Structure 1
């Protein structure tokens, strides 16, 4: 029997009636935030918040951590760098499916990009963690794009996406993390885009400070990020249980982050943010999407 299913059956047997349907409404956040709510159907333990749930969750997490010891050792001796060479191919393949399932949500978000054009109609956009360039198809024609990613092995797939999206003007590709974009001048870009990146940066507040620094006054930060689930759900339980393994297979990705809290306190003058449920694996269904204006 697969280990995840075994843990779920143990939890279901140990605690009475672990199922119910819950409705979670996204809060109004910041200035002029979107007020529409997202409705979630989810597994939800009646014993949410109890000591029993916490104990079981910690025990299962410990078991997964022990199973991940070989990965810890690979990282310690430097063998994990081999996976970093393979990771771009994995992301490239997964991104094709992700784009199909999130097409409407991405299209809806990025159609607001032209609102931040300069007076002469030009738009300079910097994408943090551009990966294989899966967002390019959603950018408006003539947009000048600056690409950054800490993994240089994405270059092959990035070049392919550039060739398929000749409606854009490509400036340069920089090997840089979101926390350190020192080669980008202050207040030099109109828009910064960040999709599925804040889950893996080492320092979210520092990344957002860099975003704030390079944006011109009135510029905007666009984001789509998966986040931790509501604490009353089984998704929350399994996100924490599988986090040790997810971290390695996702190249530093964390599925237990409350990213929206960092965006709320980053000092933007206007924030439009909403919680949505993505049509994806339950571990990464909870998402936030929106943009913030400097």
Structure 2
């Protein structure tokens, strides 16, 4: 614990200019403009690493289409729209993201994926989807988002609210490693800097526990590694839960 505390303090000293800018209220506005450009560069690289896993994960989306056969899909934290290529033709999308600066990248992804139809785009956090009515969608998708939200429990409550009965929540998230492992140790060391430069992303969030506590009727979840096991972003959970 002493070593961990010392290393965390060293990291915090290295990024103290960021803390000063945040205290002055300058960091968030600056980084929210820059972050979409960073994601536009790195999201395709990550997508290549998890392409097979995403194809498998989203292969049964049509199973949850409504009685009309139309699939109404809401994505939380759509970002640059890197998941669009995995969605079935004709699905109606509701895209949400708290950062309006992603819009130009979202539109680019939509033009590259004409098989999906944008119903509407909402600037909103996952904790507050008040513009989406109760039971309005068949499927909610969330990938690499629960690591950076303010309150995972509130997001999952909103997921349950907007899903119709029998609808499904699809997720792919990096999570905390085993607490006895060196990976977890380095996750805790890197967390302060990672949150600053990853738009609030936490390396050591125990998202699986939050999913297990949420009132889903069915939870299909497995752990995978999409990077070397020593990597702080290596442990992932992937699957879907049914309302």
Deviations along 1:93-120, one digit per CA (max 9) or x if unpaired, are 1101001010000000000101101122
Decide which structure has the larger Cα Rg and report it: 1
Tell me if 1:111 matches 2:75. no
Query: Where in structure 2 are the equivalents of 1:125-164 lying within 5 Å?
Result: 125-164=73-112
The residue number in structure 1 matching 2:216 is 268
The residue number in structure 1 matching 2:240 is 291
Separation (CA, whole Å) in 2 of partners of 1:83 and 1:125: 29
Give the secondary structure class of the aligned counterpart of 1:159: helix
Give the secondary structure class of the aligned counterpart of 1:282: coil
Contact 2:227–2:233 under 8 Å retained in 1: no
Corresponding residue to 1:196 among 144, 147, 155:
144
Q: CA deviation at 1:232?
A: 2.4
Q: CA deviation at 1:159?
A: 0.4
Corresponding residue to 2:170 among 208, 217, 222:
222
Give the secondary structure class of the aligned counterpart of 1:268: coil
Corresponding residue to 2:124 among 176, 188, 191:
176
Give the secondary structure class of the aligned counterpart of 1:111: helix
Q: CA deviation at 1:200?
A: 0.5
Tell me if 1:60 matches 2:20. no
Unaligned 5+ runs, structure 1: 1-53
4+ long deviations beyond 3 Å: none
Q: CA deviation at 1:258?
A: 0.4
Separation (CA, whole Å) in 2 of partners of 1:192 and 1:158: 18
Give the secondary structure class of the aligned counterpart of 1:157: helix
Give the secondary structure class of the aligned counterpart of 1:220: strand
Corresponding residue to 1:206 among 154, 157, 165:
154
Separation (CA, whole Å) in 1 of partners of 2:142 and 2:134: 18
Contact 2:147–2:174 under 8 Å retained in 1: yes
Corresponding residue to 1:83 among 16, 27, 31:
31
Contact 2:73–2:91 under 8 Å retained in 1: yes
Give the secondary structure class of the aligned counterpart of 1:112: helix
Q: CA deviation at 1:58?
A: 1.6
Separation (CA, whole Å) in 2 of partners of 1:127 and 1:148: 6
Give the secondary structure class of the aligned counterpart of 2:232: helix
Separation (CA, whole Å) in 2 of partners of 1:62 and 1:187: 46
The residue number in structure 2 matching 1:24 is none
Query: Where in structure 2 are the equivalents of 1:17-28 lying within 5 Å?
Result: none
Separation (CA, whole Å) in 2 of partners of 1:73 and 1:253: 19
What number of residue pairs does the alignment pair up?
Answer: 241
Corresponding residue to 2:17 among 66, 70, 73:
70
Relative CO higher for 1 or 2, CA cutoff 8 Å, sep ≥ 6? Answer: 1
Give the secondary structure class of the aligned counterpart of 1:199: coil
TM-score using structure 2 length = 0.97
